[in-house]
């Protein structure tokens, strides 16, 4: 396979490495890629780092989600590029190069699961596994114009997934259609004794409904209505109008603590991420990507009280969201504040101000993953020059509602994946 | 709370944390400390120290 967008860090040959493949499973005939922080037996899990490559620790077994896709008949094609240790929204990796956006190779794919999103967008695979701590599935899904699902915190097993921030890490996936997303998500569900932090939920298969249910949809205002470029507003209005046309009711909604939730996620990420890598930060700091290193070192210097405060804020904002879902079945916001920036662009202009790319591409995703709610980025087929996604958010454990709503939007031509076809 | 600190304060923080990063890391650390301090001050606007952040740990 040719990898024109540097989406992969490793491409696997067909043959022995397909061990575990069930040829007649429900996903037979499909292929997938795994973000290079999922263990693949016999390979070093790079997590986008030079340090892991140098250490050379070979995974003894597949990550649970890799094994489950194989068991469903999906063929593993390779492992995908990412921001170092998943700390970033750009996939401009100083060790393994930049992943290019298949819709415009002069632009980033987003991150940190940028290689996975690009591989799906380019039609190189049907499905890709990713992880999302602060938006690392939803951001690249938005910029690459594919569907990206971040399930409820604790829904999918993280066994064999290289950690970033244990309190916030989610595993999830990308696909070009909601139907494919549903099939793969169903194959990934289910309790896993290897993951002590997983929620003990049974498999809850996605049932795609024949007609769009009349959902009560809230369009998030306040924090979510500021700081976005015109294309993000265009996409949001397009999907909101589309849902209304499908019979949903639309009303404004407010998650009052969203901005503070984002700040809390920001602090928790630097502090927990720094703690995870403390030993290497002390002994070989120059082996890190500089941007990752300096953020983690700063996180190590913050007072413990701040982390406790961030945890309390999580509970407070989660309670606000729970109350909001008494009035709404689904919430909408932009997935990203803009479409894909150019490679190397350090800042983006939003509402007349230059703001840093790496810190702000996930601003609308962070408050949602912080409180563990399931969310999907759907690619709006709106009048925008480049793809951009809209974030749909559901109550905890209601992933099926998200995928079903995405299915109806897709079928109605309101959302969809454009560009190369497999 | 600007969060801006000077080099001497950074030295104290690094020493207390048992860290001694190379000189070229200092500017990046200071910039990120300032950012974290601003976010920290912001999240504290709705913090309630008596709120229970405990999570269920299954036996």
Q: For each of chain A's 422 residues, which pLDDT tens digit applies?
A: 899 999 999 999 876 545 677 788 999 999 999 999 999 999 999 999 999 999 999 999 999 999 999 999 999 999 999 999 999 999 999 999 999 999 999 999 999 999 999 999 999 999 999 999 999 999 999 999 999 999 999 999 999 999 999 999 999 999 999 999 999 999 999 999 999 889 889 999 999 999 999 999 999 999 999 999 999 999 999 999 999 999 999 999 999 999 999 999 999 999 999 999 999 999 999 999 998 999 999 999 999 999 999 999 999 999 999 999 999 999 999 999 999 999 999 888 877 888 887 778 999 999 999 999 999 999 999 999 999 999 999 999 999 999 999 999 999 999 999 876 54
- In this complex, the residue of B14, B46, B49 whose CB is nearest that of residue A260 is B46
Q: Do A313 and B46 touch (CB under 8 A)?
A: yes
pLDDT of residue A19: 66
pLDDT of residue A358: 73
pLDDT of residue A420: 63
Q: Do A297 and B29 touch (CB under 8 A)?
A: yes
pLDDT of residue A296: 98
Share of chain B above pLDDT 90, in %: 73
**Integer CA distances (angstroms), A400 to A44, A68, A151, A186, A332, in order:** 34, 19, 10, 10, 16
Does residue A359 contact residue A301 with C-beta atoms inside 8 Å?
A: no
Assess A291–B contact: CB distance below 8 Å, yes or no: yes
Which residue among the candidates A31, A50, A70, A112 is catalytic per the annotation? A112
pLDDT at B1 over 50: no
pLDDT of residue A18: 57
**Helix or strand holding residue A69 (H, E):** helix A64-71
Q: What number of H helices and E strands is found in chain B?
A: 2, 0
| Residue A257 DSSP code | T
pLDDT tens-place string over residues A66-116: 999 999 999 999 999 999 999 999 999 999 999 999 999 999 999 999 999
Q: Which residues of B touch A294 (CB under 8 A)?
A: 25, 28-29, 31-32
pLDDT mean across residues, chain A? 95
pLDDT of residue B4: 77
Count of all residues that appear for chain A in the document: 422
- Active-site annotation holds for A112: yes
The ipTM assigned to this model is: 0.94
Q: Do B32 and A264 touch (CB under 8 A)?
A: no
**Integer CA distances (angstroms), A88 to A28, A55, A167, A170, A197, in order:** 34, 22, 17, 15, 24
Most distant CA pair in chain B: distance in Å?
Answer: 47
Which of A192, A281, A290, A298 has the most B C-beta neighbours within 10 Å, making it the best mutation to test the interface with B?
Answer: A298
Count of all residues that appear for chain B in the document: 59
pLDDT of residue A52: 98
pLDDT at B54 over 90: no
pLDDT tens-place string over residues B28-37: 999 999 999 9
Which residue among the candidates A31, A35, A113, A369 is catalytic per the annotation? A35
The model's pTM:
0.97
Helices A290-300 and B26-43 pack at an angle, to 10 degrees, of 50
């Amino acid at each position: 396979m040719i990898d024109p967008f540097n989406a992969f860090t490793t491409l696997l040959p067909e043959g022995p490495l397909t061990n575990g493949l069930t040829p007649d499973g429900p996903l037979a005939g499909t292929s997938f890629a795994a973000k290079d922080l999922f263990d693949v037996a016999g390979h070093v899990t790079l997590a986008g780092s030079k340090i892991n490559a140098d250490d050379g620790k070979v995974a003894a077994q597949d990550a649970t989600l890799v094994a489950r896709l194989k068991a469903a008949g999906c063929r593993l094609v390779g492992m995908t590029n990412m921001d170092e240790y998943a700390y970033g929204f750009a996939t401009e990796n100083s060790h393994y190069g930049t992943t290019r956006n298949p819709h415009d190779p002069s632009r980033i794919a987003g991150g940190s699961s940028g290689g996975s999103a690009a591989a799906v967008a380019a039609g190189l695979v049907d499905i890709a596994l990713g992880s999302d701590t602060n938006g690392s599935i939803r951001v690249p899904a938005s910029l690459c114009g594919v569907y990206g699902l971040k399930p409820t915190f604790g829904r999918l097993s993280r066994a064999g997934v290289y950690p970033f921030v244990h309190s916030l890490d989610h595993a999830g996936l990308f696909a070009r259609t909601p139907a494919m997303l549903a099939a793969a998500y169903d194959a990934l569900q289910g309790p896993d004794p290897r993951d002590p932090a997983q929620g003990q939920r049974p498999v809850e298969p996605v049932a795609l409904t024949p007609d769009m249910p009349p959902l009560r949809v809230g369009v998030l205002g306040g924090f979510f209505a500021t700081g976005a470029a015109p294309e993000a507003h265009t996409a949001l209005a397009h999907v909101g109008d589309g849902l209304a046309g499908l019979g949903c009711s639309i009303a404004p909604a407010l998650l009052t603590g969203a901005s503070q939730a984002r700040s809390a996620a920001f602090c928790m990420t630097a502090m927990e991420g720094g703690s995870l890598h403390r030993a290497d930060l002390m002994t070989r700091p120059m082996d890190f990507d500089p941007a990752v290193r300096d953020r983690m070192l700063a996180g190590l210097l913050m007072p413990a009280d701040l982390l406790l405060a961030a945890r309390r804020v999580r509970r407070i904002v989660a309670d606000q969201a729970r109350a909001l879902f008494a009035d709404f079945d689904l919430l909408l916001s932009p997935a990203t504040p803009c479409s894909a920036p150019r490679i190397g662009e350090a800042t983006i202009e939003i509402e007349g101000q230059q703001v840093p790319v790496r810190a702000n591409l996930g601003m609308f995703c962070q408050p949602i993953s912080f409180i563990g709610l399931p969310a999907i980025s759907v690619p709006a087929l709106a009048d925008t020059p480049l793809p951009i996604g809209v974030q749909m958010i559901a109550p905890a454990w209601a992933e099926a509602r998200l995928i079903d709503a995405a299915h109806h939007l897709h079928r109605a031509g309101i959302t969809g994946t454009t560009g190369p076809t497999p | 709370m600007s969060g801006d600190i000077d080099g001497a304060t950074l030295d104290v923080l690094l020493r207390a944390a048992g860290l001694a990063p190379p000189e070229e890391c200092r500017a990046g650390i200071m910039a990120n400390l300032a950012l974290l301090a601003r976010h920290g001050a912001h999240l504290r606007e709705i913090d309630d120290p008596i709120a229970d952040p405990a999570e269920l740990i299954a036996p």
